[in-house]
């Protein structure tokens, strides 16, 4: 009688540890099914939790259609961070991933990332990701080995939550998600890095970060309250870094400059001026971004340069007519939304 050694060895190996996947969902019925199916197709043990954050559309029904392969929690609308914390409190697996309802995972991602996390004994595993806009995928550039990850994050080089696998106990240890009005995942990741998170990287798998103009997208929030919330969060991170002996003042200065830039576009003048003053106090001289921005901002000052750029964009939108203005808004280039500040 012949023996199948591969079958014997496989049978002797312990099963891979499961992964809890938490999907916060507020009025996300349009996208939720795709996100859920991308998790259920992983061929890896999964504890899937969908948190319906006070939706008024068919979100709960869309999730319930996949029962009993997931757990559905319905909570009053408290925002994405609170919804994620509800899921975190009920998660059972040693590893956890927070997937936005409009994003998705490509096959094999959870297996690759959990293996990387387990092998390295790390707290965070960063995986590859791509951005999707209008059905077109573009490879993303985020956290990478051999770089100062905190400084990168402060300067805008980040990995979205769809490609970040966490050790659940570590997320709980540092206090979970905080209710920042924008850049919630950035706040969590930067806080984790300051707190000394052990990091590893996975070469396989891919999260897909979907860009669209849904009215509930956190990344599209703007206005004085949003800028003030981000400034407060950045100040808390700066204080935490000082308490932990982490010195990245130049990078914090760059982060405050970016907030000032977006604040002036959003009409949050007082908040933007305070952010710019803090940037200068931390030694961030001159201006960031592309050469043309740096040149104009040096001559005009950041506030005046942004004001003139916004006015020019309004005129261009009006001259192009309704169709042109709608297309500009679809791409996030109207005066109410700042274009990306690229280094």
Judge contact between 288 and 294, C-beta under 8 A. Answer: yes
Complete domains list, the chain, with CATH: 12-216 (3.90.550.10), 222-330 (no CATH)
pLDDT for 65: 97
pLDDT for 274: 95
Q: Name beta bridge partners: 95.
A: 19, 167
Q: Name beta bridge partners: 115.
A: none
pLDDT for 313: 79
CA distance 100 to 213: 15
pTM for the whole thing? 0.86
- Cα-atom radius of gyration of the chain, to the nearest Å? 22
CA distance 118 to 125: 9
**pLDDT per residue over 208-239, tens digit each?**
999 876 555 544 556 789 999 999 999 999 99
**pLDDT per residue over 120-178, tens digit each?**
999 999 999 999 999 999 999 999 999 999 999 999 999 999 999 999 999 999 999 99
pLDDT for 247: 86
Closest listed residue to residue 170, CA positions, set 265, 243, 96, 104: 96
Distance set, CA 176 to CA 84, 185, 191, 204, 310 (Å):
8, 11, 10, 27, 37
The Cβ of residue 172 has, within 10 Å, a number of other Cβ atoms equal to 15
CA distance 283 to 274: 15
∠ CA 160-189-35, nearest 5°, is 30
pLDDT for 339: 61
pLDDT for 309: 87
pLDDT for 340: 63
The β-bridge relationship of strands 164-167 and 124-126 is: antiparallel
pLDDT for 330: 37
Rounded to the nearest 5°, which phi and psi values hold at 129? -150, 165
pLDDT for 222: 65
CA distance 107 to 206: 8
CA distance 236 to 242: 10
The Cβ of residue 154 has, within 10 Å, a number of other Cβ atoms equal to 26
Closest listed residue to residue 166, CA positions, set 194, 146, 192, 138: 192
Closest listed residue to residue 210, CA positions, set 324, 106, 339: 106
What is the pLDDT tens value at each position of the chain, 343 positions in all?
Answer: 444 545 544 444 567 789 999 999 999 999 999 999 999 999 899 999 999 999 999 999 999 999 999 999 999 999 999 999 999 999 999 999 999 999 999 999 999 999 999 999 999 999 999 999 999 999 999 999 999 999 999 999 999 999 999 999 999 999 999 998 889 999 999 999 999 999 999 999 999 999 876 555 544 556 789 999 999 999 999 999 999 999 888 899 999 999 999 999 999 999 999 999 999 999 999 898 889 999 988 998 999 999 888 888 778 766 665 444 444 343 333 333 566 665 4
pLDDT for 8: 44
């Amino acid at each position: 009688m012949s023996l199948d050694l591969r079958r014997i060895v496989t049978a002797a190996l312990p099963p891979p540890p499961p992964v809890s996947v938490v999907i916060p969902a507020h009025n996300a019925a349009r996208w939720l099914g795709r996100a859920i199916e991308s998790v259920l197709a992983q061929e890896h043990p999964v504890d899937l939790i969908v948190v319906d954050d006070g939706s008024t559309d068919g979100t709960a029904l869309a999730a319930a259609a996949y029962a009993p392969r997931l757990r559905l929690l319905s909570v009053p609308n408290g925002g994405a961070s609170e919804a994620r914390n509800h899921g975190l409190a009920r998660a059972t697996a040693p590893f956890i991933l927070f997937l936005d309802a409009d994003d998705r995972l490509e096959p094999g991602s959870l297996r690759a990332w959990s293996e990387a996390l387990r092998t390295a004994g790390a707290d965070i595993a960063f995986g590859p990701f791509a951005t999707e806009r209008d059905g077109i995928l573009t490879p993303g550039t985020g956290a990478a080995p051999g770089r100062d990850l905190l400084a990168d994050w402060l300067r805008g080089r980040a990995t979205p939550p769809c490609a970040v696998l966490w050790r659940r106990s570590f997320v709980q240890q540092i206090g979970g998600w905080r209710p920042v009005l924008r850049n919630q995942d950035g706040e969590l990741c930067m806080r984790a890095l300051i707190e000394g998170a052990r990091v590893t990287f996975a070469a396989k798998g891919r999260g897909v970060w979907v860009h669209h103009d849904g009215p509930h997208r956190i990344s599209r929030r703007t206005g004085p309250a949003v800028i003030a919330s981000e400034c407060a969060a950045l100040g808390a991170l700066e204080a935490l870094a000082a308490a932990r002996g982490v010195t990245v003042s130049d990078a914090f200065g760059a982060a405050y400059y970016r907030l000032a830039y977006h604040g002036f576009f959003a009409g949050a003048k007082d908040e933007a001026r305070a952010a710019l003053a803090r940037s200068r106090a931390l030694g961030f001289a001159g201006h960031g971004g592309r050469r043309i921005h740096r040149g104009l901002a040096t001559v005009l000052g950041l506030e005046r340069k942004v004001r003139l750029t916004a006015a020019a964009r309004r005129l261009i939108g009006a001259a192009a007519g309704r169709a042109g203005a709608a297309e500009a808004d679809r791409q996030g280039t109207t005066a109410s939304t700042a274009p990306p500040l690229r280094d």
